[in-house]
Amino acid sequence: MVTAVTKVDILAIGVHPDDVELSCSGTILKHIQLGYTVGLLDLTLGELGTRGTKEIRTAEAISAATKMGVQFRYQLDLGDAFMQWNEDTLRQIIPIIRAARPRIVLLNAIHDRHPDHGKSSKIAADACFFSGLRMIKTTFQNEDQEAHRPEVVYHYIQDQYIKPDVIVDISDFINQKMEVIKCFKSQFYNPESTEPESAISGVDFLEVVLSKARLEGRAIGVSFGEGFTVDRPIGAEHLFLVK
C-alpha cells in the first residue's frame, strides 16, 4: 500500500478510518474501473472508537485501501473528537490537497449523528477553498507547493438521512463495497467479542448499509446507489447523460 501522496483525480477525505468505505466506496470502485485515480485522506486515527485501537484501525484502513486499489492512503492525527477549525488544522490539510491536486473531493456528511462528521465536513471544505489561495504558502515533503482548488466538493451521506443532490449508480460494485467494509472487522458484529457494543456493532448493521444503498438506488431506478450533496448546481453536457 502506497502512502506517499501523488496526483489523483479524486481525493476522498474522512474524519475517521472507515467513513469513506461505509459511505462512498462503491463510487470510488466504480471510478477506478472507469480509469480515474483516487487517493484517501483520514483526518484522525479513530483513536476514540468504542472498539479496537488506533493501531488496529490503521491496519484495517490499509487493508481496505489495498482492496479498493487506490493510489494512496494518508493519515493525519488531528485528534478524534477534539479536532478544531483553526489555522494549525487547516495548514495540515491544505498541503495534502495541494500534493494530490484532485479535480473532485469527497467529504463527510454536512451534519450527522456523530459530531465529528459535520465538523470535519466544514473544516475540510474550507481547506479545499483556502488551498486555492496563492498567498497561503505551504511545503510538503520539503517542496514548496503551488495553490490548487478542486473543481467541486461532494459530501457523502452517512448515518442520518439527508436528501441527496446526486446519486451514483453502484449496482455493479455493491458486493465489492461490502467486502471493503468488512476489512474493518474490529468495528462490526462479532459474537465472540468482549468489547462494548457500539452504534455499528449490531448484528443487523451491514444489512442497514445495504438497505440504504437500495433506497438511494431506487430513487434513480437502479438496484443500488450512493448519494451526495453539493453546494452548487450540478451541470451536465446534455439531458440524456442524467438518469
- In this predicted structure, the answer to whether residue 229 has a pLDDT above a threshold of 60 is yes
Pairing of strands 225-229, 152-156: antiparallel
Q: Please tell me the CATH superfamily of domain 10-230, with its number.
A: LmbE-like (3.40.50.10320)
CB proximity list for 68: less than 8 A, separation 6 or greater: 21, 25, 28, 29, 32, 38, 180
Give the Cα separation of 157 and 208 in Å (integer): 14
Task: Retrieve residue 5's grid coordinates.
Answer: 501522496
- In this predicted structure, the answer to whether residue 180 has a pLDDT above a threshold of 90 is yes
Nearest to 14 by CA among 6, 70, 151: 70
- In this predicted structure, the answer to whether residue 1 has a pLDDT above a threshold of 50 is no
CB proximity list for 149: less than 8 A, separation 6 or greater: 128, 129, 131, 132
Q: Tell me the mean pLDDT in the region 149-173.
A: 98
Domain ranges in the chain are: 10-230
> Which pTM was predicted?
0.96
Nearest 5 degrees, angle CA 237-CA 177-CA 113? 90
What count of Cα atoms within 13 Å lies in the side-chain half-sphere of residue 95? 18
Q: Would you call 125 helix, strand, or coil by DSSP? A: helix
Q: Which stretch of DSSP H or E encloses residue 239?
A: none
- In this predicted structure, the answer to whether residue 2 has a pLDDT above a threshold of 80 is no
CB 158 within 8 A of CB 120: no
Q: Tell me the mean pLDDT in the region 222-238.
A: 95
DSSP 173-235: GHHHHHHHHTT-GGGS--TT--SPP-TT-STTHHHHHHHHHHHHHHHTTSS-EEEEE-SSPPP
- Digit-coded pLDDT (tens) for 21-66: 999 999 999 999 999 999 999 999 999 999 999 999 999 999 999 9
CB 108 within 8 A of CB 93: no
Average per-residue pLDDT for the chain: 96
